[in-house]
Amino acid sequence: MILHVDMDAFYAAVEQRDHPELRGKPVIVGADPKGGRGRGVVATASYEARRFGVGSAMPISQAWRACPHGVYVRPDMEKYVAVSRQVMAVLRHFTDAVEPVSIDEAFLDVTGSRRLLGTPGGAASGEEIARALKTAIHDQTRLMASVGVATSKMVAKVASDMRKPDGLVLVPPGTEASFLAPLPVRRLWGVGPKMEEALIKIGVHTIGELAACDPARLERRLGTHGQDLVQLARGQDDREVAREGEDAKSIGQEHTFDSDTADLERLRAMLLELSDGVARRLRQHGTRARTVTLKYRDEDFQTCTRAETLRDATDSGDLLFEAAWRLFRGVHGRRKVRLVGIYASHLGGPSQMPLFTAPPSPADRARDLVEERFGEGALTRASLLGDGRRPDGRSLPGGGERETAADRKGSRRLRR
Active-site residues, by number, are 105
Upstream peptide bond of 165 is cis (omega within 30 degrees of 0): yes
Decide if 343 contacts 295 (C-beta within 8 A): yes
Residue 1's SS3 state is: coil
Considering only the C-alpha atoms of the chain, give the largest distance between any 2 of them, rounded to a whole number of Å.
77
How far is the C-alpha of 108 from the C-alpha of 120, rounded, in Å? Answer: 23
Instruction: Tell me the Cα Rg of the chain.
Output: 25
Phi then psi for residue 376, to 5 deg, are -60, 135
Decide if 171 contacts 126 (C-beta within 8 A): no
What are 318's strand-pairing partners? none
Decide if 316 contacts 279 (C-beta within 8 A): yes
Exposure b/e, 392-412, CB count within 10 A at least 16 = b: beeebeeeeebbeeeebeebb
How far is the C-alpha of 46 from the C-alpha of 30, rounded, in Å? Answer: 12
Residues 6+ away with beta carbon under 8 Å from 194: none
How far is the C-alpha of 84 from the C-alpha of 100, rounded, in Å? Answer: 10
Task: Give the helix, strand, coil percentages of the chain, each rounded to 5.
Answer: 40, 25, 35
Residues 6+ away with beta carbon under 8 Å from 302: 236, 335
255-188-300-204 Cα dihedral, nearest 10 degrees: -110
Phi then psi for residue 128, to 5 deg, are -65, -40
